Structure 1
Amino acid sequence: MFVIGDSLVDCGNNNYLRSFARSDFMPYGIDFYAGPTGRFSNGKTIIDFLGDLVGLPLLPPFEATITFGRDILKGVNYASAAAGILDESGRNLGDRFSLSQQVKNFKSTLSQLKRKMDERKLEEFLGKSLVLMNLGSNDYINNYLIPSLYPNSSRYNSQDYADLLINHYAIHITVLHNLGLRKFLLAAVGPLGCLPNQIATGDAPPGKCVAFINDMVEVFNKKLISLVDQLNANHTKPSTFVYGNTYGVFTDILNRPDDYGEKLYSSSTILIN
């Protein structure tokens, strides 16, 4: 499994970077056996749970494979907190691996894999691997929604900005596919208007999420669904592209928290990028 994304799936890459977007300190990891590891969570992330389901160990962060020679044969996590689809997103928080840099980092791993197996085995290995991509949040909360630092909100309306993001996303997904990866899970952007830092702006009634931000995110998610459909139409099996409805999952948690009981507090990812 190879993971490309932001803080929701970062497992420690930012520990090695000069960044304000770090979580290698308490209370992060308070319910995790190894304590604070760079996961932006009290416990396991969704990647860790998914790995449990498919029988994979915890994936090493890319930087640990370079610095300490961690094993790459079960997969690598390239995710970086504050990263976005656009290179500029998140620069207000310091260093991070943007989508384009994460793709370059995967190419570095691929070079290592080529030294470990012949061409046929590598093709089979990549074809069976799962690629999980979770990006887009920082292109809004650490770009478009900070007009004092980024000009994009004056350059693009929400439709055009979503098109810009999707077009960049599609280019990098195609690069990964051309490198041999075949099974992709593309996660939606969650309800960003419900993040504490957005509610704190006062742009919503007490106890409510900021509706115009969630509407903006839904524009992106609808275009992501269309991209997934297009990718499946353009590539025959065994290539598979799946849309992960992150927005729906978190909206359900927010609307019906009692249905989730203690699980909501003991193992959920903290919604902070």
Structure 2
Amino acid sequence: MATLRPAPASMVVLCAVVVVGAVLVVAAEGGGIAPAAEGGGIAPAAEGGGIAPAAEGGGSEEAAASTGKAAMVPALFVFGDSLIDNGNNNNLASCLGCHWCHPSGHVQQLLQGVNFASAAAGILDESGGNFVGRIPFNQQIDNFEATVEQIAGAVGGKEAAASMVARSILFVGLGSNDYLNNYLMPNYNTRRRYTPRQFADLLADRYAAQLTRLYKAGARKFVVAGVGSMGCIPNVLAQSVESRCSPEVDALVVPFNANVRAMLGRLDGGGLPGASLVFLDNYGVFKAILGDPAAHGFAVVDRGCCGIGRNAGQVTCLPFMPPCDGRDRYVFWDAFHPTAAVNVLIAREAFYGGADVVSPINVRRLAAL
């Protein structure tokens, strides 16, 4: 089993999902992230550009104490890929590990949540295999099940642990690597075996089974993020002579997101009794940003802030490479990933947004259930 580390909020402004966790405890009136008007789509940045940063601090209890407010949920558990990985690949044979300091957590910190995400992970175990070392979603679930047992030992038994986990939020964001590092890779035969529709159906079926495993382990509150607009990432732009977005790549993402949304509706509608499942439309958020970047505080949409080659997207950011100036004005940090500024915007919309972004309820309402 891979060594896991608690996800301190001082790191997680890099990752939209974990920013959502920070918002849960610091974004009430007077502090934290400046809220969008609840119920109203993507909120542009204030005049002058930029996005208010998430407050830094420790886990949920520390963050709550620092603002004088009670935590809205006991913990946040995160599952996903390099969009939200905070260093779990460090001890694996991989070129994707982010070299954070060695973990120094103890079992009590598990009570604030754990980031299980792993760069190159996918819904399918074989996705991302070209990067050798990664923790696929199924193994992340194994680690969560083991963590629930550890929590039971820390809180006085299985009943107390079940109550704590049921009141916590699970954020799940996968699917990108099943396309970028599986379906679209020439060394995989996936495209020869499945049409785009068949592959989207396969992923949704596997995803439903995996979410059901989390439910059986005690989870009841889920936020599941759709895949963003992969057709406009710098790596894809760099493959076009005119650096244009690829409608063919986005055409793969649309049916997957539609399947996930429908699947969550079925599970929320009685498939998983007592569970609440929320869909976050990352694709819609990215399309809104790319459609009018200036209104959201961005100036550069067609290249990474740190990278090599055309669109700074042919080789991703490497150690000791100087990043761009004014990174908050960039949509993309490197060949594949958004900047912290985009992640904070996504987090804000997840927490306060209307049904056009997050449905059937937003994260703020989910936390209050």
TM-score by length of 2: 0.59
1:16 corresponding residue in structure 2 = 91
Match of residue 156, structure 1, among 187, 194, 197: 194
The alignment covers a number of residue pairs equal to: 232
Match of residue 279, structure 2, among 243, 247, 253: 243
Cα gap change, 1:238 to 1:217, in 2 (>3 Å): same
Say what the alpha-carbon RMSD is for the aligned residues.
Answer: 2.2
Q: What is the CA–CA distance in structure 1 between the aligned matches of 2:263 and 2:233, rounded to whole Å?
A: 26
Is 1:2 matched with 2:77?
A: yes
Question: What pairs up with 1:58-77 in 2 under 5 angstroms?
Answer: 64=103, 69=106, 71-77=109-115
Q: What is the CA–CA distance in structure 1 between the aligned matches of 2:185 and 2:162, rounded to whole Å?
A: 43
Q: Is the 8 A contact 2:182 2:190 kept in 1?
A: yes
2:356 corresponding residue in structure 1 = none
Is 1:189 matched with 2:219?
A: no
Please give the secondary structure, in 1, of the residue aligned with 2:160.
helix
AA aligned to 1:95 is: G
Q: What is the CA–CA distance in structure 2 between the aligned matches of 1:20 and 1:249, rounded to whole Å?
A: 29
* Cα-to-partner distance string for 1:207-239 (whole Å, 9 max, x where unaligned): 421001101100100001110111011247641
Q: What is the CA–CA distance in structure 1 between the aligned matches of 2:332 and 2:298, rounded to whole Å?
A: 13
Q: What is the CA–CA distance in structure 2 between the aligned matches of 1:128 and 1:89, rounded to whole Å?
A: 31
Q: What is the CA–CA distance in structure 2 between the aligned matches of 1:181 and 1:106, rounded to whole Å?
A: 10
1:126 corresponding residue in structure 2 = 165
Please give the secondary structure, in 2, of the residue aligned with 1:13.
coil
AA aligned to 1:108 is: A
Q: What is the CA–CA distance in structure 1 between the aligned matches of 2:106 and 2:194, rounded to whole Å?
A: 43
TM-score by length of 1: 0.79
Question: What pairs up with 1:1-273 in 2 under 5 angstroms?
Answer: 1-24=76-99, 37=100, 64=103, 69=106, 71-117=109-155, 118-147=157-186, 149-202=187-240, 206-235=242-271, 238-261=274-297, 265-266=327-328, 270=333, 272=336
Please give the secondary structure, in 2, of the residue aligned with 1:142.
helix
Q: What is the CA–CA distance in structure 2 between the aligned matches of 1:123 and 1:216, rounded to whole Å?
A: 38
Q: Which has the larger radius of gyration?
A: 2
Q: What is the CA–CA distance in structure 1 between the aligned matches of 2:122 and 2:184, rounded to whole Å?
A: 13
Q: Is the 8 A contact 2:215 2:272 kept in 1?
A: no
Structure 1 residue 206, shift from structure 2 partner: 2.2
Structure 1 residue 200, shift from structure 2 partner: 2.0
Superposed structure 1 runs of 4+ greater than 6 Å apart: none
Q: What is the CA–CA distance in structure 1 between the aligned matches of 2:332 and 2:220, rounded to whole Å?
A: 27
AA aligned to 1:196 is: P
Cα gap change, 1:221 to 1:236, in 2 (>3 Å): closer
* Cα-to-partner distance string for 1:140-189 (whole Å, 9 max, x where unaligned): 00000012x11000000000001111111111100110111000011000
Of stretches 193-202 and 159-168 in structure 1, the one that deviates more from structure 2 is 193-202
Please give the secondary structure, in 2, of the residue aligned with 1:79.
coil
Q: Point out where structure 1 has 5 or more consecutive residues left out of the alignment.
A: 25-36, 39-62
**Sequence identity percentage:** 37
1:46 corresponding residue in structure 2 = none
* Cα-to-partner distance string for 1:17-37 (whole Å, 9 max, x where unaligned): 21111333xxxxxxxxxxxx4
Cα gap change, 1:232 to 1:258, in 2 (>3 Å): same
Q: Point out where structure 2 has 5 or more consecutive residues left out of the alignment.
A: 1-75, 301-326, 338-369
